[in-house]
Amino acid sequence: MRLTPAAGSPLDAAALKAALVRPGSLWRDVSVLAETCSTNEDLLAAARRGAPEGTVLVAELQTAGRGRMGRTWVSVPGTALTFSVLLRPVAAAPASKGWVPLLAGLAVACALRSLAGVDARLKWPNDVLVNGAKLAGILAEQAGDAIVVGAGINVCTGQDELPSASATSLALQGATCTDREVLLIGLLGQLEHWYLRWAYAPSGDAAACGLRQEYLRLSATVGRDVRVSLPGGRTLAGTACNVDEVGRLVVKSADALVAVSAGDVVHVR
C-alpha cells in the first residue's frame, strides 16, 4: 500500500447542486471554494446575516480549520472533504440540541459504511473511527438560532500527511470508494435523512425518531473503560455505559453515574 494515495479532482459545484438542491430538499445552496480560512467561520458569519438553513460550504483548502477542544484541521487539497452546513432547528427543545453534533457524526459513519465499505464507528461525541483510528472529526458551533456543523474527513490522505499516527484515511483503510463527489453527496444525503427525522420529532426526541438507538448501535465508546478530560482540568475515569436522552455520555465511576456534556474521551485499552 502506498503511503501517499493520489489526490482527487477538484469538486464540481454545479454537479453537487444538481444532485442535492431540489424541491423538498433540506439543501438550498452548495458552494465550493478553492481556499478559505474556515468554512465554519464563514457560515457563522453568513448565519448572522440571515443565510437560510440548508446552506453548504465546501473548501478544498482551509488555512485555519478548527476542530474540537481548540485543535486545528489541516489537509492537502484534493485529499479530504472539508465542509460546513448551516442548520436552524427552531422546533427542537433547547436541551435536545446537544444531539446535533452526534447526529452529524452518525450521518458520516452511516454514509461511509454504505459507500466506502469501512466499519465506521463513533467515539463520543462525534469522532468517526475505523479500526480504532480517527478518520473524521466534527465541530458544531452556534450563532443565535443557527447551528453550523463542520466536518473534516480524510479520504486520500497519505500516512505521512496525517497529523498523528492515530489518524487514518479511507484510502489507507482499503475503502471501496474514494470519489470525493460521490462521498459528499452520500454524506449530505445521510445528514438530511437524520436531521429531518430528528428536527421534526416531538421536541427533538432522539429516541422517538430512532436516532439514539442507531447512535448506540455504532458507538465505539459505550461499554468501554474511558478516561474523560473535563473542562477545568478535571479527569473522570470509569466505564461508559450509555448516551442519555440529550446526548450526554453516561460514565459509571467508582462513586456514581456521571452524565458528561463536554469532554475529551480516551478509550482505555
Q: Which domain holds residue 259?
A: 222-267
Cβ within 8 Å of residue 166, ≥6 positions away: 133, 134
- Residue 20 in any domain: the answer is yes
H helical segments located in the chain:
13-20, 39-48, 99-115, 180-199, 211-217
Phi-psi region at 202: left, alpha or beta (left = phi > 0; alpha = psi -120 to 50): beta
CA dihedral 256, 261, 266, 269 (to 10 degrees): 40
pLDDT at residue number 3:
41
State whether 156 and 50 are in the same domain: yes
CB-CB contact of 108 with 190 (8 Å): yes
State whether 205 and 229 are in the same domain: no
Rounded CA separation 85/195 (Å): 12
Rounded CA separation 122/137 (Å): 10
Q: What is the mean pLDDT of each run of 10 residues along the chain (269 residues)?
A: 58 97 97 96 97 97 66 72 97 93 98 98 96 96 96 93 90 97 98 96 93 98 95 91 96 94 85
- Residue 150 in any domain: the answer is yes
Q: Scanning the structure block, which residue is given the C-alpha cell 429516541?
A: 207
pLDDT at residue number 117:
98
The pLDDT tens digits of the residues spanning 74-85 come to 567 789 999 999
Can you give the pTM of this predicted structure? 0.92
Q: What is the CATH number of the domain that holds 239?
A: 2.30.30.100
